[in-house]
Structure formats: C-alpha cells, structure tokens
C-alpha cells in the first residue's frame, strides 16, 4: 500500500515536525498518482492504496490544521489533461469525491452536513445512494437542446475536448426535448459493460493487438482515441447522473433530477435509492455489495448525495470535492506473492524510494509486479525482506499495496533489509534529517538522477508542457550532453544537425520538436514557478505565489529580502495564507542559492516569463482579506468562509494590518480586540451580508461603526453576549 511515512504512529501521537514531513510526502505521492490515473490512464497503485493515502492525509490535516499545505491533495482533483486533444475549461469545476471506508465515516458525513447547515441532531437528511461506476468521467454540453461539446474531467478545471468521440455513443442523446433548458451540462460516466469487455479482448487477441487489463482501462483507452472511428468500433456506454452548468434549475432534488434525465433519454446508474436515514443508507450499501458480481458493469462503491439541491448549494465545495456528497468504497481484494528484490529509485528532490519487485501475480484479473515501499520506516514497520511471501491487496485495476508478510513462509536464511546510506546513482551520502521520514541524496546537481528528474519535471504537462520532448528523450539528451540545464532546452536548435543524425530523428520530427519548444518560450509565471521543482511548492502554491508577487523579478527580489526575518518582505511572505515556516525556508534556500540564481538568469535570457494576470470580478470583496470571528447567526462559520472564497476574497485565520474586513459575531474574543487596536474595518454579520449582496451602507451605518470602535462600548457589548459560546472560538 502507498503508506504514509509515519504509518506506525497514530495521528494524535505525531509531533508537529513529523506531521509537517508526512503532509509533504503525501502531497507529492498523491499528486503523482493523480497524474498517472487521470492524465495517463496508467495507474501504478491500487484504488485502496490511493484511498488510504488520502484518508491519512485528511486525518493529519484535521489534527494539524495550521500545517495544511497550499498544494494539499484536499484542495486538488485529478491531473492536468494530456496533449492530443484541445483543452476545454469547465464552466463549473468537475469535482472528485471524498471517501468513506467504514460505517462510522457515513455517520461523520451526515453529522458534518448537519453542523454546516445548522440542523438539529435529529433532523432528517435525505440522501440519494447510487452505485459508483468504475469508468471515465465526462461532461456533455447542450445548447438550444443540441449536443455541442463533450469533455473529460481533466484536472477538474480544464479537460480534453472529446466531442467527436462521444458523438459515437448510442447512449448519449444528440438532442434534448423542448422541456430542457437552453444551456445544460449533463455529467456522468463512460464505461464498458463486463460482457462487452471480454468480447473486445477476445477480438483484440485474435487480431494480435493490445489486451486491456480491465473494463475501466478499456473504456478510457477507447474514448481517448484521436481517431473517432476507433472509438465508434468499441462498445462504450454512458450513465448520466449529475448536473453541471445550466441556464435554469431543472429540479429541486437529485431524485427528481434523475427522473428528468431519464425522460430525456439518458441511462441511469442503478440500483439507486432515496434513503431517509442512516440505516437505510447502510442497508442499501450492503445490498449493492452483495449483488455487485451480478451487475453488468464494474463498480467500486456507492455514492451518497444530499438530495435537496438548495442544501447542496449552501454546502458548496472545498477545492477538491463537494461537501454534499461522499463515496463509500468497497473493501480491497487480497492475494499472496513473493518479493524478489528491493530496488531504490532517486527522485528530483533526492528522495530515496524503495520499490518492491514482485513475482508477477494476477489479482482481480490484473497482473501486477511492482509496488512502492515508500521509505525505510515503512520497511522497518512491516519488516519486509527479500524472499518474503507478502500479502498484497487491490481495490481497483492497478498495482496493489503490500499489506503484510506471511511469516510462516519466511525463508530461514532471510536477512533484514539494510537501507542504503549512499545514493545508488552518484554515491553521495544519503542524509535523513531529524524528524523526516525520507532519506535524501546530498549530491544535488552532481547527482544524475536528480538532474534528470528535475529536467523531466520542468518540461512536464503541469509545468512548461513541452510536447514531443518527453521523459525518455530528456534522459537520452542529458546522457549525450545535448542538455544539461533547463535553459539548454531552448538552445537545442543550435544542435540541429546532431539531432538529425540520431536514430529515429528525421527532419520532420526535429522540426516538430523545435516548434513545440518555440511555442513554450512564453510561459505563465505560476507554471514557471512550479516547473522549478522547489520542495513543497506544488501547483496551488505556485499559483498563490504568482498571484501575490505578479512577476518573477518581484518574487526573486522579495524572497531575497525575506532572508531578514525583521523585514516587511518576510512578514508579507508569512502572511500569505497557508505559507508556513518550512515552506518559507525552502523558498529562501532555493532563491538565494548561487547555482539557482545562475539558472534563473540563464532561463530569463531564453524565455519570457509572463506576469500573472489577476482576473477581474464584480464582487465587492474580490481580492480582499477577510477574517471571521465569533458566533454567526444567519450562517455557520464554515458556510460564511466558503461563500467569501467563492466571491474571490482571501479568508485568513489571523488578524493583521493587511486584513481588510473583520466580520464579528457574538463572543468574538481576541481577534475583535486586535482588529479594533489596529483600527481595521469591523463588520457585523448583517453588514457583511449587505456588503456581499452589493448593498451600500448609509451614513447612519457608518456612524454606528465608528462609534463601535470605542472600547467602552465594545466591552459592554461583550458582557451582554457572555452567555453565548462559539464552537469555533478564538
């Protein structure tokens, strides 16, 4: 399993330093698997293993909310779309789902819904329970009741245009009846029925062509063909069960929405049931689990959705998932095989990752032969040795986790695996700092593995996205001395003849590569920052830095000045929401390093790094920093924060001179006092609602605000509200 670095330590027993390192590890690990699964249709870990990573990440974040990373997996979904199809920006994000693994998780989900909405403990919450189809998510856009565009989920914000391929599916209506809105997006899952999958593989085998591992891979591979004729020849189907962008609301509940979809000609994912209490939900989960093998398609769980659409609107979403839905996953499958060898891979940050090389074995119809072992703590905790018989498990269609060792079959001559203290690539010392789970090569730029991995990262899809270069070409070009640094990529044309003389490289392929490189000589600032491969700086953090500093020159200058912890530059960096101390140190270390300074200067001479463009909105609080404190009446604190972020505001947990608004409820506490001491703009809940509704305060309101800044009146007000208590108080 993709285990966390401190899997042997209970979350509540983690030190702050251990939690920080584990969250960093989990963010990198989950991001990698998101790209492999959503972007490449080539996952290398099991669904169960992936779910365990996310579950551990959520638990650590809950225990240590102050350490949540800007690039946290809880804020992201999927992976950026790959090349080959044009890009489609979703009008509304296509989100992933949070996961439930046990009955208690379902109870917690319902409790969270009630708390967020301010419902009583006994107030019923109707939930639609639907089978979770194991396929490829797609969104269908209809304008004037005609199907005009289809897209994959991609990274949730941008997907791939697969309109022509979706046009070939009989399950997708090409027109909608007159009662449909002028604009509507129907979302659902493209899948392949199990019987059709077996028939396709038989046909593929007879023709000597690729055999698919499972129905999900077959569906994804068939749908993402550049030639729609190939897609048309494959037995793909579609379930429509969710609503995206729409010009008008079509139903007040999920149950009625499904009825509308069915009346328009869409197939529904059945068996689904409207459940009125927790016991009905769990009974339906059990029923689907017992009849799973008899269904004509693969599923990996049951999805629960709050039935009322108005409640869904209030609940909203976090960056990765809606608050009003959750996926209850099925248990994983298990098998036993032999561990033949443990190898070590070196990543771009120098991390040494052990990999289990397994005797190939079929689990649920898929042959698996490798699994990551993560770090030496994981090896030690499970006491995994070469030659061991290991129990592996999978819950989907990919390589499984190593669950445990079958000690009864352990060879008599087995020895404890000794984790190397030197880098297998360059021989440099591999250091493990105190409190960290990962051992890293100290070779830096002299380590070929790190250099090559950094180059691969720089040209990856989420960074500069240079089509046609690819990981294998980067390795080959580096080995042969054609590129040694990122800037060398943009000087490759100087070695045109050397490229043409290489095997497999003709004039046309060389021209195509140069065109792709030329197309990326102007790059967005956030992509460039991410492409630098700075530790802890993922896509979300890179975008946050770009948004705050706007240009590379300004970013470099301010990070340089931030070396002085007494400087305004350091304070400004620290005040950026979710930029923590360790991240600040990594930024300072990178931007003040002489080698990196030279690398940045070299890159700046070859490419144009565009300034970050701030999108304009009509919201009166866009770009403003807001702090909520005290007990709110009209909405819960969580609901207020979510609404502010939707309007483009920055929600902070602390008050500073950079704060624009402090919204105070009853029993506000120290934050209100600090805001008054700083002379900040303090709003009541009613005034905040009026502000975000576009209302303007009259002179009487302004006068009241000025009067309230008087400390005596503030003290009196606090005394009157003393009996009220905020569950989220300071």
Distance in angstroms (rounded) separating the CA atoms of residues 39 and 158: 11
Residues in the chain: 730
- In degrees, rounded to 5, the angle at the alpha carbon of residue 376 between the alpha carbons of residues 374 and 382 is 85
H or E segment and range at residue 361 = strand 352-363
Residue 467 is classified by DSSP as T
Q: Can you give the three-state secondary structure of 85-143, one letter per residue?
A: CCEEECCCCCCCCEEECCHHHHHHHHHHHHHHHCCCCCCCCCEEEEEEECCEEEEEEEE
Q: 486-505: buried (b, 16+ CB within 10 Å) or exposed (e) per residue?
A: bbbbbebeebeeebeeeeee
H or E segment and range at residue 226 = none
Distance set, CA 393 to CA 42, 44, 377, 389, 401 (Å): 18, 13, 20, 13, 5
Distance in angstroms (rounded) separating the CA atoms of residues 659 and 189: 44
Distance in angstroms (rounded) separating the CA atoms of residues 332 and 46: 9
Active site residue 132: yes
Catalytic residue among 20, 35, 75, 132: 132
Strand partners for 317? 322
Residue 36: Cβ-neighbour burial (10 angstroms; 0-12, 13-18, 19+): middle
Q: What is the CA radius of gyration of the chain?
A: 27
CB 42 within 8 A of CB 396: no
| Intra-chain end-to-end CA distance of the chain, in Å | 39
Q: Which residues are catalytic?
A: 132
């Amino acid at each position: 399993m993709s285990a966390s670095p401190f899997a042997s330590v209970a979350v509540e027993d983690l030190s702050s330093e251990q939690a920080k390192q584990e969250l960093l590890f989990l963010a990198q690990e989950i991001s990698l698997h998101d790209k492999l699964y959503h972007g490449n249709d080539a996952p290398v870990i099991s669904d169960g293993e992936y779910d365990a990573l996310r579950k551990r990440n959520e638990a650590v974040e809950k225990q240590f909310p102050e350490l949540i990373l800007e690039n946290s997996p809880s804020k992201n979904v999927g992976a950026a779309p790959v090349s080959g199809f044009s890009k489609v920006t979703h009008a509304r994000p296509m989100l992933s789902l949070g996961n439930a693994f046990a009955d208690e998780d379902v109870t917690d989900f319902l409790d969270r819904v009630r708390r967020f909405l301010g419902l009583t403990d006994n107030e019923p919450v109707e939930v639609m329970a639907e089978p979770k189809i194991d396929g490829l998510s797609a969104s269908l856009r209809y304008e004037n009741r005609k199907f005009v565009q289809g897209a994959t989920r991609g990274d949730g914000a941008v997907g791939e245009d697969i309109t022509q391929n979706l046009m070939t599916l009989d399950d997708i209506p090409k027109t909608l009846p007159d009662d449909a809105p002028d604009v509507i997006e129907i979302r659902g899952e493209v899948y392949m029925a199990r019987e059709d999958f077996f028939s396709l593989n038989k046909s593929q085998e007879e023709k000597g062509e690729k055999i698919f591992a499972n129905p999900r891979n077959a569906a994804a591979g068939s749908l993402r063909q550049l030639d729609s004729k190939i897609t048309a020849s494959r037995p793909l189907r579609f379930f429509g069960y969710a609503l995206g962008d729409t010009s008008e609301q079509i139903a007040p509940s999920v149950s009625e929405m499904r009825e509308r979809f069915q009346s328009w000609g869409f197939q529904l994912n059945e068996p689904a049931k409207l459940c009125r209490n927790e016991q009905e939900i769990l009974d339906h989960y059990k029923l689907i689990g017992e009849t799973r093998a008899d269904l004509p398609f693969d599923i990996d769980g049951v999805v629960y959705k709050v039935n009322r659409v108005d409640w869904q609107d209030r609940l909203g979403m976090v960056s990765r998932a809606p608050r009003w839905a959750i996926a209850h996953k099925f248990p994983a499958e298990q098998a036993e095989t032999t561990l033949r060898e443990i190898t070590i891979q070196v990543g771009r940050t120098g991390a040494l990752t052990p990999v289990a090389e397994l005797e190939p074995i079929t689990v649920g119809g898929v042959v698996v032969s490798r699994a990551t072992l993560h770090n030496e703590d994981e090896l030690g905790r499970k006491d995994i040795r070469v030659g061991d018989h290991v129990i592996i498990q999978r819950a989907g269609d990919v390589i499984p986790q190593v669950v445990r060792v079958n000690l009864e079959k352990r060879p008599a001559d087995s020895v404890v695996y000794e984790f190397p203290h030197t880098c297998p690539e360059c021989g440099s010392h591999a250091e493990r700092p105190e409190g960290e789970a990962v051992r890293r090569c100290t070779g830096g730029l002299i380590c070929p593995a790190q250099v090559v991995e950094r180059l691969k990262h720089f040209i990856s899809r989420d960074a500069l996205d240079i089509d046609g270069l690819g990981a294998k070409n980067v390795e080959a070009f580096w080995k042969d001395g054609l590129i040694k640094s990122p800037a060398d990529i943009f000087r490759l044309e100087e070695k045109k003849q050397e490229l043409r003389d290489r095997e497999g490289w003709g004039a046309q392929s060389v021209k195509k590569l140069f065109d792709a490189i030329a197309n990326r000589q102007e790059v967005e600032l956030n992509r460039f920052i991410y492409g630098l491969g700075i530790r802890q700086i993922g896509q979300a953090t890179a975008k946050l830095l770009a948004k705050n500093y706007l240009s590379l020159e300004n970013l470099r200058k301010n990070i340089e000045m931030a070396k002085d912890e007494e400087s305004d530059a350091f304070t400004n960096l620290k005040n950026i929401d979710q930029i923590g101390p360790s991240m600040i140190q990594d930024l300072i270390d990178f931007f003040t390093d002489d080698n990196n300074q030279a690398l940045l200067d070299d890159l700046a001479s070859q490419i144009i790094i565009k300034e970050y463009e701030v999108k304009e909105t009509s919201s009166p609080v866009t770009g403003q920093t807001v702090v909520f404190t005290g007990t709110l009446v009209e909405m819960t604190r969580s609901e207020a924060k979510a609404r502010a972020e939707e309007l483009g505001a920055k929600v902070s947990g602390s008050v500073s001179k950079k704060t624009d608004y402090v919204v105070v409820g009853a029993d506000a506490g120290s934050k209100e006092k600090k805001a008054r001491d700083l002379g900040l703009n303090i709003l009541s809940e009613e005034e905040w609602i009026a502000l975000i509704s576009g209302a303007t305060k009259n002179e009487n309101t302004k006068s009241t605000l000025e009067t309230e800044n008087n400390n005596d009146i503030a003290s009196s007000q606090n005394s009157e509200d003393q009996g009220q208590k905020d569950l989220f108080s300071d």
